[in-house]
Chain A
Amino acid sequence: SYELTQPPSVSVSPGQTARITCSGDALPKKYAYWYQQKSGQAPVLVIYEDSKRPSGIPERFSGSSSGTMATLTISGAQVEDEADYYCYSTDSSGNHKVFGGGTKLTVL
């Protein structure tokens, strides 16, 4: 079955740039999406179609994709950005949807 691989954790100090990666064999052909999930809350879409930002999402959130890796970048991370982040995509057929294992971002 298709898998997306994320690092379990990333830690940065406030104001630094946080980068969270997501690797998958189909990413050269399929978009990556990123969700933020704060403790006890439902996920929120922060990046769609590799690099687009939904309305209401701060500009410090950006996304990129190259080859088999997609990256979520938080420029000038803030304490309120502490959360679990999940990438989402599909296999090459588009029929099988999958989330990555999630990355816990610590900002302190």
Chain B
Amino acid sequence: QVTLKESGPVLVKPTETLTLTCTVSGFSLSNARMGVSWIRQPPGKALEWLAHIFSNDEKYYSTSLKSRLTISKDTSKSQVVLTMTNMDPVDTATYYCARISVDCSGGSCSSYMDVWGKGTTVTVSS
């Protein structure tokens, strides 16, 4: 059974750095056809993609947040870590991690999030 669980602080102060951990089970971060993504959702608003990391350590970031985000993985611990610097109240949101599945059966490869964690709520306030 594939599961992902997000963990991190519930409350952070403005200007602080947020560090979130996604602990996965049921699949390996070294699997060439998989990766992990971070997505967030402010209260009452839409989903926003943040970052991807794949087994070969290839990384992708949201253009608008790239300067503030770092994604990394520890395969031995089955963990993916997302850091976001200079937190602001507008960053208050539920943060989700999700497994990425890579499908190369159609001649070209596509990737998408197929299993999600339950999310962790982060509030930014002084």
Contacts and interface: CB of A to CB of B under 8 A. Distances in A.
Interface of A: 1, 31, 33, 35, 37, 42-45, 48-49, 54, 86, 88, 95-102
Interface of B: 37, 39, 46-49, 52, 60, 62-64, 96, 103, 106, 110, 112-119
Contacts of A45: 112-115
A102 B118 contact: no
Main secondary structure of the interface of B (DSSP, over half): strand
A107 B39 CA distance: 27
A35 B41 CA distance: 14
B65 to A, nearest CB: 11
Q: Which of B39, B48, B106 has the most CB of A within 10 A?
A: B39
Given A42-B96, A42-B117, A97-B52, A48 B47 contact: no
Nearest to B47: A99
Given A43-B116, A96-B63, A31 B110 contact: yes
A44 B116 contact: yes
Contacts of B39: 99
B122 to A, nearest CB: 15
Given A35-B113, A97-B62, A99-B48, 14 more contacts: A42-B96, A49-B103, A86-B47, A88-B49, A95-B60, A96-B60, A96-B63, A97-B60, A98-B49, A99-B46, A99-B49, A100-B46, A102-B46, A102-B47
Contacts of A43: 47, 96, 116
A35 B37 CA distance: 15
A98 to B, nearest CB: 6
Contact of B112 (A44, A48, A98): A48
Given A42-B118, A43-B116, A88-B112, A1 B46 contact: no
